[in-house]
Amino acid sequence: MLKTPQANPTFRALCGRAERALLNADFDAAALFFRRALALKPASESAVGGLLIADFCLRRDEFASQVAELYAAARAIEPKRAKRLALGLIETIEAEESEKSAALDKFLIARDGIEYKEFLALLDSSPSFADLFEKITRSTNIYISRKNDWYDLLERLIENGYLEVAYRFIESASPFVGMDDRARALLVKLQEKEAIAKSAGKA
C-alpha cells in the first residue's frame, strides 16, 4: 500500500513547533524551526524575534532560564507582547554586560596587576573563565600570594584547556610552591588532558 507523501510543513506549523520548543526551553529546536519558518517568510517579525531569543539563550546559557521564564509567563498573560518583553530583557542584559566590560577595561588599564581574589570576584560576573582570563592576561598580571590559590588557578587552566599555559605556570611557580601530592595530581591531570587533546587531533 502506497503512502501519501507528507506535505512540507507550513510557515504556521513551523512557528507553532518553534514556539512550543521555546516554551520548553529547547533552544536548539526552537532556533531550527524559526530558521525554517524564516526561509518561507523572511520578513516575519515574530519569527525573527523568536530566533533572536533562542540564539541568545544558546550563546548565554547563564541567562537562558531567566529569559525563558519571562517569555513563558508573558505568553500565558499577553502572548502578543511576550517576544517584545523577552527581547527587552535581553537588551538590558547585554547593555549591563557591556558596561561591566568597559568598567573592567578601565580597571585593568589603571593597574599593573590584580590579586587572585580580585580575579575570582570578577569571574562571578564574567561570561566565562576563558573570557575573563584572556581579557586580563592581554593587559596585566594575576598575582598569587597563597598556595591554595596557585592550585586553584592551575586546576582552572587545565579544566578550560589552557594546557600550554598550565605547563608554563608549573615551570615558573613550582620552585617556589613545591611539588607535593596535590601538585603532582594536577600534573597527571594535565598530562591526561594533553593526551586526549592529541588523540582528538589525530582522529
**pLDDT value of position 142:** 87
CB 80 within 8 A of CB 49: no
Give the integer Cα–Cα distance in Å for 75 and 23: 9
Question: Does a structural domain hold residue 60?
Answer: yes
Q: Which pTM was predicted?
A: 0.51
Give the integer Cα–Cα distance in Å for 157 and 165: 7
Per the structure, the complete domain to which residue 54 belongs is given by 7-100
**pLDDT value of position 20:** 94
**pLDDT value of position 50:** 93
Give the integer Cα–Cα distance in Å for 85 and 90: 9
Residue ranges of the chain whose pLDDT lies below 50:
1-6
Question: Does a structural domain hold residue 44?
Answer: yes
Q: Of all residues in the chain, what percent carry a pLDDT higher than 90?
A: 33
Question: Does a structural domain hold residue 74?
Answer: yes
Q: Which three cell numbers stand for residue 192?
A: 591526561
Where residue 10 falls (left for φ over 0; alpha for ψ -120 to 50; beta otherwise) is beta
Distances (CA, A) of 83 to 35, 38, 58, 66, 128: 16, 16, 16, 14, 27
Distances (CA, A) of 163 to 12, 44, 193: 49, 46, 8
Q: Encode pLDDT of 4-58 as tens digits.
A: 444 578 999 999 999 999 999 999 999 999 999 999 999 899 999 999 999 999 9
Question: Does a structural domain hold residue 118?
Answer: no
Question: Does a structural domain hold residue 45?
Answer: yes
Number of H helices, E strands in the chain: 10, 2
Q: What is the mean pLDDT of the chain?
A: 84
Question: Does a structural domain hold residue 21?
Answer: yes
Q: What Rg, from alpha-carbon coordinates, does the chain have?
A: 24
- Domains in the chain, number: 1
**pLDDT value of position 18:** 94
